[in-house]
Amino acid sequence: MKPFENFRGIVLPLDRANVDTDAIIPKQFLKSIARTGFGPNLFDEWRYLDQGEPGQDCSGRPLNPDFVLNDPKYAGANILLTRRNFGCGSSREHAPWALADHGFRVLIAPSFADIFHQNAIKNGLLPIVLDEEIVDELFELATGDEPLTIDVDLHNLKLDAEGRGTIEIDIDPFHHHCLIHGLDDIGLTLTHADDIAAYEQRRAAEAPWLFG
């Protein structure tokens, strides 16, 4: 997992509450476990006017002009602003895979579903919980004539939103450590590689019959 670097991004305002993981990446795309290639099918049923299928070339599919992701104003957006309980429903890890593959790196909402929140962090996404009043302010800015740009400073736990100023963010210290250093579960385990190797050598000497 890549370490999280501070960056400046454009905000996509998805003004919907209780967005479930089947809306983020519909069930027919769960056949693959490659972690990549899901970006074109992010929000597939809202994004296109036809039925999407795995392996389909999406470049020629008819777009839903009323869906915010298709608005040219938000081209290149990599910060998703949404409403409460984002990522509810099933625990599919394909949901953060699709968001990351499309280019999102930061998610802002009043709340996230617990399992989705964990899966997002394990895949290098930064889910930020803010008070609904602040989220309302950001939506007002993001839906104005010009797109909203936010500077994300994870090291110092703050956002700087154009027209709003600095917003302090609160992140679990362990999650902060993992994102800053790019550590998923495997990466965390490998930080103890020397201890693991030493233990295996000691056990092999103490109980050689366990090692064949």
User: What residue ranges define each of the domains in the chain, with the CATH number in brackets?
Assistant: 7-181 (3.20.19.10)
pLDDT grade, residue 1 (50/70/90)? confident
> Can you give the pLDDT at residue 58?
95
Identify the CA nearest to 93 among candidates 43, 24, 142: 24
pTM: predicted TM-score of the whole model, two decimal places? 0.90
**212 pLDDT higher than 90:** no
pLDDT averaged over the chain? Answer: 93
Tell me: the pLDDT tens digits for 64-90? Answer: 999 999 999 999 999 999 999 999 998
Tell me: the pLDDT tens digits for 171-195? Answer: 999 999 999 998 887 777 777 888 8
DSSP string for residues in 149-200: EEEEETTTTEEEETTTEEEE----HHHHHHHHHT--HHHHHHTTHHHHHHHH
Tell me: the pLDDT tens digits for 144-155? Answer: 999 999 999 999
Mean pLDDT of 9-17: 98
> Can you give the pLDDT at residue 197?
82
